[in-house]
C-alpha cells in the first residue's frame, strides 16, 4: 500500500515526481501529494482522490523546485481527504515526510506529544513522526541525528521519505522491514518504494536494506544503520529498458493483461523447461527431449535445494493472501497429486499470533505478486527462524521476498498495472505446476513417461488460452446477462474449488456485486439457503474424477430455481440439460484445467464491471500491493 517517490538534481522536481507517482498509483489512489523546496521554503501540494487531482493543482501552481518528495496513499489511519493526504509537515513547518506502513505505537506517542503542546491537523500515524523529528531538532540535533533518535521511539514496519528546507540539498530515506530503492543518475538521484518508478530514469540502483537510513544528494548516497554506523554499497545495474505504461489499444489495462496471458505463460515456461528457448514464438513443438537423461530434466533456476534435500522434505507449507492464496490452494492439489507429500496452505495473516509448526524438514513456500505483502513476509520470516527451507514465488525479483528466501521462482509477467490480478495469477499457477513436476522428478515420484506427458500437457496451455481469448465476444454477450445480479455463487470441486473462489473474488473486486465461492459439496451444508430465482450459480464443470458429483451439486441448485451458469468444455452434452448459460472452453485434462477455466471468469467479471461503469483498473478501496498488516 502507498507509494513513496523522491527527486533531487538539476531538473524540475514536480514533473519527475508526478511521472513516478503515475507508475506507483496502483499502490493507492485515495490521495496524493508532493513536498518541494521552492526558493528555500517548503511547499506542500496535495489533494484527495486520484492522481489527476494533484496533477491539476501542479499544472496551475507550477512550483519551481529541483528537490522534493511525493506520495500516493491507500488509507490506513484517517479517512481519505486533503488533511490526511501525505506529505505531512513538522510543527515548525520546515520539514515534510511521506510514509508507508504503520506506526504501531502512534496513539501513545500522539498523546504524549499532545500533552506537550503539539497540535495535530490529521488523523494519521504519519504526523506523529513529523512532530517527533521536529522535537528532536528543537533539542539541537541535525536531521540525521533526529532520525536516529526517532527510530528508537517508533514501533512497526515502515518506510519514510523526508525533506527539510534547512537542508535543501538532500533527501533522507528510512527503511524498516519495507522496500525502498535509490536510483543514481547523472548529477541527479531518485527515490521510490518500487524500483519500477526509478527505472524510468536510471538503471543504477541501491536497494535499502532492513533498518537502514540513506542520506541522498544529487551526487552520492550515504548509508547508516539504526545505530548510526555508516556503510558503503555500490549501485547495481538493472535492465536499462524503461517501463512504459501503455494500454496497447485496449480499453483498460485489465483487458490487456488478460490478453497477455498466453505470452506470460510462454515466457515463464520457456525460462524453466528444456527446449523452450523462444518465449515469443514458443509452442509445444519446441519441447524436444534429448533422450540422454539429465538433460531432459526441468531446470528451476533459483531453486537451490539439492536432490538429497528435496528427498528429505517431509511436508510443504504454503503461505499467501488474496488471489495468491487461491493459486496456493491449487498448488496443494498439484504437489500432493504428483509427490504424495502432505501440503498445508494458510492465509498468511492468520499465522500471526499462532504457533507455526514447521521445522528443518519442511519447505515453506511464500506466494506474493509484489513480493512485498506484509503478512506473507512476516510468515516466511517466522518459518525461516524455525529452520524451514524457504521458497518464494513472485513477479518481482528485486522484492523483499526475493531477498529473504533461499529459493526463488520468478513469474515472467512484467508489471501488472491493474489492481485485480489476472496474468500474475495464471503465472503463479504455472509456477506451481513447474514446482510440482520438478519435485516429483527429483524425488523419483513418477515415471519418466508420466513426466514427459506432464511437461507436454503444461506446454499446451498457452495455445489453449489463445483459443479461449478468441471467444471473448461470445463471453461478453453471456456475461451481460449477469449484470443485474445482486448476489452470485461460484462452486467447484477438487482442482477447481479454488477456481470458484478466484472467480468470486474477481467479480466482487471489479463489479462490487456480492459473490461467494464454495466447494460444491458444501453448498448443501448451509449456502443453499441463499438460492432463489435471482441468484446465479456459476459451476466449474470439467470432465474428471469429480465431474458427476459436481454436476449433481449443480442440479441441487437448479432444484432451488437458481440461475444456472457453467464453465464447461466443448462437447459436454450433459451440461445443456442443467445450465441456461455456458462459457465453453476447449477440452482439457482435469489436472491442468484451473489454468484455462479461470479465463472466462476473468472476462465475465471484466465485462460486467465495464457495463456497470465501474473503475475496472482501480476498484474502490483496493490497492495492488498490500504492504500493511
pLDDT digits (tens, 9 = 90+) for 419-433: 899 999 999 999 999
Rounded alpha-carbon distances, angstroms, from residue 409 to 317, 369, 378, 392: 16, 11, 19, 6
616 close to 603: Cβ distance less than 8 angstroms = no
DSSP 562: P
Check whether domain 3-237 has CATH 3.60.20.10, yes or no: yes
Enumerate the domain spans of the chain. Answer: 3-237, 253-467, 470-611
What grid cell was written down for 200?
524510468
Residue 284: its pLDDT value, please?
38
Catalytic residue among 271, 332, 455, 624: 624
Mean pLDDT of 601-614: 96
User: Is a pLDDT exceeding 70 seen at residue 239?
Assistant: no
d(CA 493, CA 502): 13
d(CA 259, CA 616): 15
d(CA 437, CA 299): 11
Q: 230-231 and 315-320: which strand pairing? A: unpaired
User: Is a pLDDT exceeding 90 seen at residue 77?
Assistant: no
d(CA 57, CA 61): 6
Residue 244 — very low, low, confident or very high, per pLDDT cuts 50/70/90? low
pTM: 0.78
Residue 283 — very low, low, confident or very high, per pLDDT cuts 50/70/90? very low
d(CA 255, CA 608): 12
3-237 with 470-611: one CATH topology? no
Q: 31-38 and 236-237: which strand pairing? A: unpaired
Least trusted range by pLDDT, from 72-86, 91-105, 201-215, 376-390: 72-86
Using DSSP, state whether 31 is helix, strand or coil.
Answer: strand
Question: What digits encode the pLDDT tens for the residues 537-573?
Answer: 999 999 999 999 999 999 999 989 999 999 999 999 9
User: Is a pLDDT exceeding 70 seen at residue 359?
Assistant: yes
Least trusted range by pLDDT, from 294-298, 350-354, 435-439, 509-513: 294-298
Residue 296: its pLDDT value, please?
52
Tell which residue, 195, 178, 180, 254, has the closest CA to residue 397.
Answer: 195
d(CA 375, CA 565): 35
Question: What digits encode the pLDDT tens for the residues 132-165?
Answer: 999 999 898 899 999 999 999 999 888 999 999 9
Q: Got the DSSP string for 90-137?
A: -TTSSEEEEEEEEETTHHHHHHHHHHTT----SS-SHHHHHHHHHHHH
Residue 625: its pLDDT value, please?
58
Active site residue 152: no
Q: 315-320 and 343-347: which strand pairing? A: parallel
68 close to 17: Cβ distance less than 8 angstroms = yes
Q: 581-585 and 563-569: which strand pairing? A: parallel
Residue 286 — very low, low, confident or very high, per pLDDT cuts 50/70/90? very low
178 close to 103: Cβ distance less than 8 angstroms = no
| 253-467, CATH topology level | Rossmann fold (3.40.50)
Backbone angles phi, psi at 483, to 5 degrees: -70, -15
d(CA 222, CA 22): 28
DSSP 242: P
Provide CB contacts within 8 A for 261, sequence distance 6+: 422, 423, 426, 462, 465, 469, 599
What grid cell was written down for 114?
499532545
395 close to 416: Cβ distance less than 8 angstroms = yes
Mean pLDDT of 474-499: 95
Residue 245: its pLDDT value, please?
63
Domain 470-611 in this protein, CATH class:
alpha beta
Backbone angles phi, psi at 488, to 5 degrees: -135, 140
Q: How would you write 391-406 as a 3-class SS string? A: EEEECCCCCHHHHHCC
Looking at every residue in the chain, the average pLDDT score rounds to 89
Active site residue 598: no
Mean pLDDT of 75-96: 85
Amino acid at each position: 500500500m502507498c507509494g513513496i517517490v523522491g527527486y533531487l538534481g538539476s531538473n524540475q522536481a514536480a514533473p519527475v515526481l508526478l511521472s513516478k507517482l503515475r507508475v506507483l498509483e496502483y499502490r493507492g489512489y485515495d490521495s496524493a501529494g508532493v513536498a518541494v523546496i521552492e526558493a528555500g521554503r517548503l511547499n506542500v501540494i496535495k489533494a484527495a482522490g486520484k492522481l489527476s487531482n494533484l496533477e491539476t493543482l501542479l499544472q496551475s501552481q507550477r512550483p519551481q523546485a529541483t528537490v522534493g518528495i511525493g506520495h500516493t496513499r491507500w488509507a490506513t489511519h484517517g479517512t481519505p481527504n486533503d488533511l490526511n493526504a501525505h506529505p505531512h509537515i513538522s510543527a515548525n513547518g520546515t520539514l515534510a515526510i511521506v510514509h508507508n506502513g504503520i506506526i504501531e505505537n502512534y496513539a501513545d506517542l500522539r498523546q504524549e506529544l499532545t500533552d506537550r503542546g503539539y497540535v495535530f491537523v490529521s488523523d494519521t500515524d504519519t504526523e506523529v513522526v513529523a512532530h517527533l523529528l521536529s522535537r528532536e531538532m528543537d533539542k539541537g540535533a541535525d536531521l540525521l541525528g533526529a532520525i536516529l533518535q526517532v527510530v528508537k521511539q517508533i514501533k512497526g514496519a515502515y518506510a519514510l521519505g523526508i525533506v527539510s528546507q534547512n537542508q535543501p540539498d538532500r533527501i533522507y530515506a528510512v527503511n524498516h522491514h519495507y522496500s525502498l530503492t535509490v536510483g543514481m543518475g547523472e548529477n541527479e538521484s531518485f527515490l521510490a518504494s518500487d524500483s519500477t518508478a526509478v527505472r524510468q530514469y536510471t538503471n543504477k540502483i541501491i536497494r535499502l536494506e532492513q533498518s537502514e537510513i540513506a542520506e541522498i544528494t544529487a551526487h552520492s548516497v550515504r548509508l547508516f544503520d539504526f545505530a548510526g554506523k555508516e556503510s558503503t554499497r555500490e549501485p547495481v545495474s538493472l535492465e536499462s529498458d524503461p517501463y512504459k505504461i501503455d494500454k496497447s489499444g485496449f480499453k483498460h489495462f485489465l483487458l490487456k493483461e488478460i490478453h497477455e496471458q498466453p505470452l506470460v505463460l510462454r515466457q515463464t515456461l520457456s525460462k524453466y523447461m528444456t527446449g523452450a528457448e523462444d518465449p515469443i514464438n514458443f509452442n509445444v513443438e519446441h519441447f524436444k527431449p534429448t533422450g540422454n537423461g539429465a538433460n531432459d530434466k526441468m531446470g528451476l533456476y533459483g531453486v537451490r535445494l539439492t536432490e538429497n534435500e528435496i528427498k528429505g522434505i517431509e511436508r510443504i507449507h504454503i503461505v499467501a493472501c488474496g488471489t495468491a492464496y487461491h493459486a496456493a490452494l491449487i498448488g496443494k492439489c498439484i504437489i500432493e497429486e504428483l509427490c504424495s507429500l502432505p501440503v498445508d496452505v494458510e492465509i498468511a495473516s492468520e499465522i500471526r499470533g499462532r504457533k507455526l509448526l514447521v521445522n528443518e524438514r519442511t519447505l515453506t513456500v511464500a506466494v506474493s505478486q509484489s513480493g512485498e505483502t506484509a503478512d506473507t513476509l512476516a510468515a516466511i520470516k517466522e518459518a525461516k527462524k524455525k529452520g524451514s527451507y524457504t521458497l518464494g514465488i513472485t513477479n518481482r525479483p528485486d522484492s523483499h521476498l526475493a531477498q529473504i528466501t533461499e529459493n526463488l521462482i520468478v513469474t515472467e509477467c512484467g508489471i501488472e498495472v491493474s489492481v485485480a490480478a489476472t496474468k500474475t495469477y495464471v503465472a503463479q499457477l504455472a509456477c506451481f505446476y513447474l514446482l510440482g513436476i520438478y519435485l516429483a522428478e527429483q524425488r523419483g515420484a513418477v515415471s519418466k513417461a508420466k513426466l514427459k506427458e506432464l511437461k507436454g500437457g503444461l506446454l499446451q496451455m498457452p495455445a489453449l488460452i489463445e483459443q479461449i481469448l478468441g471467444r471473448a465476444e461470445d463471453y461478453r454477450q453471456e456475461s451481460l446477462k449477469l449484470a443485474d445480479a445482486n448476489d452470485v455463487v461460484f462452486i467447484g470441486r477438487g482442482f477447481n474449488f479454488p477456481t470458484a473462489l478466484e472467480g468470486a473474488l474477481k467479480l466482487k473486486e471489479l463489479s462490487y456485486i456480492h459473490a461467494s465461492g464454495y466447494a460444491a459439496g458444501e453448498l448443501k451444508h448451509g449456502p443453499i439457503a441463499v438460492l432463489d430465482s435471482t441468484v446465479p450459480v456459476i459451476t466449474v464443470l470439467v470432465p474428471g474424477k469429480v465431474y458427476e458429483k459436481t454436476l449433481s451439486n449443480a442440479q441441487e441448485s437448479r432444484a432451488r430455481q437458481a440461475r444456472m451458469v457453467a464453465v464447461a468444455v466443448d462437447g459436454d452434452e450433459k451440461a445443456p440439460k442443467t445450465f441456461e448459460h455456458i462459457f465453453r472452453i476447449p477440452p482439457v485434462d482435469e489436472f491442468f484445467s484451473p489454468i484455462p477455466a479461470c479465463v472466462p471468469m476473468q472476462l465475465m467479471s471484466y465485462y460486467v464491471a465495464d457495463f456497470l461503469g465501474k473503475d475496472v483498473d482501480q476498484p474502490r478501496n483496493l490497492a495492488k500491493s498490500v504492504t500493511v498488516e
